[in-house]
Structure 1
Amino acid sequence: MMSVIRKIHKWLAIIVGLQLIIWLSSGLYLNIADATKASGRQYLVKTKPTVVDIASTVSVKSVLTQYPNAQSIKLITLLDKPFFLVTLEKGLYAHFPNRYQLVNAVQGNRIEIDSTFAAELAQASYSGGGDISDVRIIETRPSAFPKQQNASWQISFTDEVSTQVYIEADSGRLIGHSNDHKALAGLMLMLHFMDYGRIGSFNSWQMIFFALIALWLSISGMIMAVTFTKRNVQRLKI
């Protein structure tokens, strides 16, 4: 029985040891990496909110008539133009599953964010010298923003760091910028927190699995230590 425990203990210790090397190396990178580059915001433009003339907008009541089940209606600006953001389904956080509808605040008609609109929003948030090379819809979690659970537009630029801008498809919200530096930092975070499922959280089955392995190593280590001590005591008595 003890030989089986020793073998299991040895191989599990090797697995944890390999992961420990990954923890140390990825943690070292995350500590010495340039935070600005790793954030992916190298060419991010910080825009100021535009003042909206309320008198020129349609009434909130008329919008509510179109969407009687709306949970909230908020006046926002996109490309310096006023829109009503109608929340139809609201998650706890912005990256949780949500459902929105944009309404032109001046004319009152519904607006869909197509590839052209998304590209214009991305360009407005970008200060680099690259041109747009690709615009595509992403229905699943983007690898650069694994917590994002809503569909988004991915707009790619031809600059030296391969900047990509992500725009939420329903609301027009700027999710963020990503580039080669952020991709590498994201890889290191994934390795460091064992987020191999790319869910943007350390509360994964891999982490739980390694915690159980660590518990097993502790228990089996104590069993072997006690057994070894008893054997030595018996030998001394003899």
Structure 2
Amino acid sequence: MQTSFWVRRAHKWIGLVIGVQALLWMISGLYMVVVPLEVIHGDHLAHVSSEPLTPSANRIAQSALAERYPGITSVRLKNMLGKEVYEIRQGSDAALVDAATGSKISPLDRDTIKALADESYVGEGSIRGIEWVTKAPQEVGKRPVPLWAVHYEESGDTTLYFSPHTGDLVARRHNLWRWFDFLWMFHIMDYETRNDVNNTLLRVASATGLLFALSGAWLLFYSFTRRKKT
């Protein structure tokens, strides 16, 4: 039987197999280019306060800090709610220390997290609830727990996640981000972690798509050469 018959048949069946995934690639890609990345990241919903540091004689010396907390690997001075604090790290562990007294002030309590959220949030909603999270939800990925989750009552269903150990705003999540994450799962074909862009399923689908394109190109070339002969 002629080669063109088999190529045409293969092209048809490959198209049926890859067509649904190609549609998902186009839909997810369209969403990614239509919705600005800064909106997806939630930059319009919350900002990180960065008050300038000024010289002060009231800070505890870092040498005294090292004596009180052995094994410190790094120290960072920062402002938190108008108060100077040291963020110290001992290996993978982090903690906040009052810069004036050297006393540890973390993990932060609910009231402090509420104050941090009020300082950071620039949206139009009000706080619906504050949750202590010990099992990381899908939307925060591999960020270490525990976390404080501050939920807002507004159309975007915004949630801000704070570290109880550093007070940092570690994630902004809202419905546009969640739609992005859902479509990203289909885009990279990683239905578990949603972050492996080099998985086997994606490689197989890409190779199948390439085979579909090559068979179509061959059929196009074949149709032109056959027309010239007739």
- TM-score in terms of structure 2 length: 0.74
Q: 1:209 aligns with which of 201, 217, 220?
A: 201
The match for 1:18 is 20
Q: In structure 1, what residue type is equivalent to 2:19? A: G
Shift of 1:216: 7.9
Shift of 1:12: 7.8
Shift of 1:110: 0.7
Shift of 1:75: 1.1
1:56 aligns with 2:82: no
Aligned-pair RMSD on alpha carbons? Answer: 3.1
The match for 2:29 is 27
Q: 1:107 aligns with which of 83, 96, 101?
A: 101
1:184 aligns with 2:179: yes
Shift of 1:43: 2.3
Shift of 1:15: 4.7
Q: 1:135 aligns with which of 130, 137, 142?
A: 130
SS at match of 1:77: strand
Measure the CA separation in 1 of the matches of 2:32 and 2:210.
Answer: 29
SS at match of 2:139: coil
Q: 2:143 aligns with which of 148, 151, 154?
A: 148
1:68 aligns with 2:60: no
Shift of 1:185: 1.8
Shift of 1:48: 2.8
The match for 1:82 is 84
State the identity %: 22
The match for 1:6 is none
Q: Are the equivalent residues in 2 in contact too, given 1:195–1:202 (CA < 8 A)? A: yes
Q: 1:217 to 1:56 in 2, by over 3 A?
A: closer
Measure the CA separation in 2 of the matches of 1:37 and 1:217.
Answer: 32
Shift of 1:101: 1.3
Measure the CA separation in 1 of the matches of 2:109 and 2:118.
Answer: 14
Q: Are the equivalent residues in 2 in contact too, given 1:50–1:80 (CA < 8 A)? A: no
Measure the CA separation in 2 of the matches of 1:47 and 1:195.
Answer: 35
Residues 27-36 or 11-20, more deviating: 11-20
Measure the CA separation in 2 of the matches of 1:197 and 1:215.
Answer: 21
Q: 1:214 to 1:31 in 2, by over 3 A?
A: closer
Shift of 1:36: 4.2
Q: 1:215 to 1:199 in 2, by over 3 A?
A: closer
Measure the CA separation in 1 of the matches of 2:57 and 2:81.
Answer: 19
Q: Are the equivalent residues in 2 in contact too, given 1:118–1:167 (CA < 8 A)? A: yes
SS at match of 1:27: helix
Q: In structure 2, what residue type is equivalent to 1:211? A: R
1:125 aligns with 2:117: no
For residues 113-169 of structure 1, give each alpha carbon's deviation from its aligned partner in whole angstroms, at most 9, with x where no partner exists.
Answer: 122222211111012232211111233444333242443211011123222111122
Structure 1, unmatched stretches of 5+, are 1-8, 90-97, 223-238
Measure the CA separation in 2 of the matches of 1:68 and 1:132.
Answer: 39
Shift of 1:179: 1.5
Alignment of structure 1 residues 37-56 onto 2, 5 Å: 37-56=39-58
Q: Are the equivalent residues in 2 in contact too, given 1:16–1:210 (CA < 8 A)? A: no
